[in-house]
Structure 1
Amino acid sequence: MSWDAEFTHHFDRCADSMRFTAFLLCGNHHEAEDLVQSAFLKLYLAGPGMAHREGLDAYLRQIVVRTFLAERRRVRWKREKLTGELPEVPVAGSLSEDKLVVWQALAAVPAKQRATLVLRYWHDLGVEETAAALGCTVGTVKSNTNRGLKALRQRLGREFGGLWEEVSRNA
């Protein structure tokens, strides 16, 4: 099979999943779409030189996460811009209220911790797989997971303390 055909097949199969992963990381559909387009472009350009293509899903997820983190590093601080529009939220009725609460809290967690939580709990990756995707040590994954869950629980409050784990399991 040619790389173009293989890439098209892979894109059709996992584009929606990658968009949702990017949305969990960014908290914004427009940024998520840009992130996924960039990731697929990087995958497309790397594809012809890849000797083994059986791990494309993991490789693409790694590209999405690392591109997200690189963008966040580039902009060390985020300045809010006042606009006449309300912030983007997912379409009402398509999500439970609990999921909206969790996603809003997740958007406030620091980028590396957020990426770790998304990989560990949303994608059910183990510590070693998460470390490989993030390009860091197992210890860093463990500490980012611990700090991220702590930050998430603080933002969610007592009544929503364990909601992240529940929402990610029932996704």
Structure 2
Amino acid sequence: MDAIDVIQALFESEGAQDYLGEPVTQAEHMLQTAALAVHVKAPAPLIAAALLHDVGHFQGVLTGADLMEGRDNRHSDTGADWLAQWFGPAVCEPVRLHVAAKRYLCAIEPGYYDRLSDASKFTLGVQGGPMTSEQADRFAASEYAADAVTLRRWDEQAKVPGAAVAPFREYRRLLVTLVSA
């Protein structure tokens, strides 16, 4: 199987499962996140990052279920590292930083925490809570921070039961163009 087939198989297997206390499946969540990126005509690598941002819940020793039991599965790092076998930093780094972006936004944006779903509030605590001012400064200075913050905002909006979105197959061509040689 090629890279895109492997990823699609994850969407159709593990992705079809519940999304950790949210009212959608994991695949629905990722497809909704990508649809939001497409809607604003985001660059192709950021659309791919939006589509793939939670694949780390399917990889690694700890799963999304472990996260909901209070053990950080570090899915952003796991997913970015796994995706790096096929994609470059413009796809992988926003994936790696999307949890840090939640911690950052909770630290610097009044009211952001209140807009999180109950599941996101719970996982925020497991993932380290809001950043300190020093952590926020370091995060903001990182090369992919802006993309990660944009991705994070879509992530929080992408939990709508029954939302009509394009299926994974509609993203295949875009992903193929981004696979590293």
Bigger RCO (CA 8 Å, 6+ sep): 2
Structure with higher Rg: it is: 1
Q: Do the two structures share a fold, i.e. TM-score over 0.5? A: no
Please state which structure has a larger fraction of its residues in helix: 1
